[in-house]
Amino acid sequence: MYLTVVILPLLGSIVSGFFGRKVGSRGSQIITSFFVILTTMFALVLFFEVGFNSIPVTVNLSRWLDSEFFNIFWDFRFDALTVSMLIPVLIISSLVHVFYRVHVKWPS
């Protein structure tokens, strides 16, 4: 679920960008809004898991550089600051998507 917070908005933008003509402008708006709102819900769950318990989570993806004395890993770290900053950013993004979806009328 931790990587889902990173991948869902990216997936929504890829689907909207590459298949925007096939799904139409309304379909692109619905897809991107759905993915951002779903990401916000997952971020709220992460906030309750990581933020309240103060237990940072590290998701190790792979080794990037592996030397005898020097190792660099490709990983994501979710700590209290990260998840607490995810909440306002994603809530405001969700509200912008919903406001744009409801109030802006595209010409046909």
pLDDT digits (tens, 9 = 90+) for 77-108: 999 999 999 999 999 999 998 887 777 666 55
List the domain range (segments joined by +) for residue 33. Answer: 2-103
Q: Looking at the domain assignment, is residue 15 inside a domain?
A: yes
The whole-number pLDDT of residue 57 equals 92
**Is 6 in contact with 50 (CB distance < 8 Å)?**
no
Q: What three-state secondary structure class fits 71?
A: strand
Structure tokens at 20: 């925007």
The radius of gyration of the chain from alpha carbons, rounded to an integer in Å, stands at 17
Could you read off the pLDDT of 6-57 as tens digits, one per residue?
A: 999 999 999 999 998 999 888 888 999 999 999 999 999 999 999 888 889 9
Judge whether 108 lies within some domain: no
For the chain, what is the domain count?
1
- Binned at pLDDT 50, 70 and 90, residue 64 comes out as confident
Per-residue confidence (pLDDT) for residue 96, from 0 to 100 = 92
Residue 94 falls inside a structural domain: yes
With a CB cutoff of 8 Å and minimum separation 6, the contacts of 19 are none
pTM of the predicted structure, to 2 decimals: 0.83
